[in-house]
Amino acid sequence: MTLATFKNTGRGMMATSDIAAGEVIVRVPKSFLISNDALYKIYGPHSLSTHQLLALHLVLLLQDSNCWWKPYLDLLPSHFNTLPVTFPPTLSSHLPDGLKNEVELQRQKIKSDYLAAVQFLKTKKTLMEPSSLSSKQYEWAWLCVNTRCIHVTTSDNTAKGGNIAMAPLLDFLNHTSEARIESGFNPQTQSFEIKTLIPYRKGEQVFINYGPHDNQAIFREYGFVLPQNEYNFVSLDKEVWSLFEDIEPSEKARSTKRWILKNSGYEGDYTVKTGDISFRLLCALRLLAIKGSEGGTFQRSVMAWQDVIMGQSDQIDDTNERTMYHMLKSICTNALAHSENKRSGLNNLAKSSIHHPFALLFLRQIWNESCDILQDTLHDIDTRLTTL
């Protein structure tokens, strides 16, 4: 393979000859891995997680202009402006609610890891003055680790928070969900290896696969999105509970039904995908569509609902099923209007030069995908209603 630039994916690795399925495409010797084992030999016993210390180690390496790792350090990104965690408030406000919450947790994690690194430096002042470590500098290093680390399964039991490592070359390989690989540390060769399970022809881009992630997860962790991603979905938790508040005036009924959902393992995680309405969502709405919250009729309906979640029947009854789909249609209609509004709001941000153009492009695609999924779901609901 050789480094090359591709039209749709930018920098990546190109096959210089045919590659057969089952071939090892990358072999990185242990001596070229910045691993927990290597860090332990440098810093000795410590209280930091591997991620925390790897990030600090990158900062420390940058202090030495003659560092042996300089060729690798020079190839690391200069910024992470397409990662949501670095977005200013004007752009963060346009993230989907679920993604926004996850990004805030990530932001807090970086902050706490930075403070842990500062505390560590106070015990190792010969490395760097604690006050010299800036939060921005550490954030950059933390994101380098987060976007580029590999998981190494070895006998090393000293790693805290997962045995991860940094490795040259691997971050040149781009992700696609179509790629099929096997990867891991090979004790026989004492190397981290990646084996492709599909062939490539000379001149083709060679890919790896990060796993079955939707675009919001990829956007959050790596700062890009895929043109086509079969794992994309729309979360409707917020819309479900909002509708429930509107249609069920009784606090007792709301509490009873939510208690049933929680104890049955059906509270939350309500999603739709292209061509697929989650079973959890349908079952939750079937319960919420039952009138009242007590009495013999309610108890019989709940028993029928439990038969549905156990797979013993398809529905409670025709009336409940129609009500459920009308509720779902209302939820999806509201979610679609919200998505379209958010997408339109990005047009005003595009006029500003303070945001990275790819950040706006990727965020617009996230909302486009939400609109497409919801429109497809609404069409599916209308089709199902005609048969009831």
**Fold for the domain defined by 234-386:** set domain protein methyltransferase, domain 2 (3.90.1420)
pLDDT tens-place string over residues 256-280: 999 999 999 999 999 999 999 999 9
Per-residue tokens: 206: 């060679």
Q: Which residue has the tokens 């319960």?
A: 287
The alpha carbon of residue 307 and the mean position of all alpha carbons in its chain are separated, in whole angstroms, by 34
Every domain of the chain and the residues it spans: 2-222, 234-386
The strand ranges marked E within the chain are 2-6, 10-14, 24-29, 34-35, 150-151, 164-166, 174-175, 181-186, 191-196, 205-208, 234-235, 271-273, 276-277
| pLDDT digit string (tens) for the chain, length 388 residues | 999 999 878 889 999 999 999 999 999 999 999 988 889 899 988 889 999 999 999 999 999 888 999 999 998 999 999 999 999 998 999 999 999 999 999 999 999 999 999 999 999 888 989 999 999 999 999 999 999 998 887 655 556 666 899 998 887 898 888 899 999 889 999 999 999 999 999 999 999 998 899 999 999 999 999 988 999 999 999 999 999 988 888 888 889 999 999 999 999 999 999 999 999 999 999 999 998 777 788 899 999 999 999 999 999 999 999 999 999 999 999 999 999 999 998 887 776 667 788 999 999 999 999 999 999 999 999 999 998 8
- What CATH code is assigned to 2-222? 3.90.1410.10
**Is the Cβ–Cβ distance between 13 and 4 less than 8 Å?**
yes
pLDDT tens-place string over residues 305-343: 999 999 999 999 999 999 999 999 999 999 999 999 999
pTM: 0.89
The Cα 136–Cα 111 span in angstroms is: 10
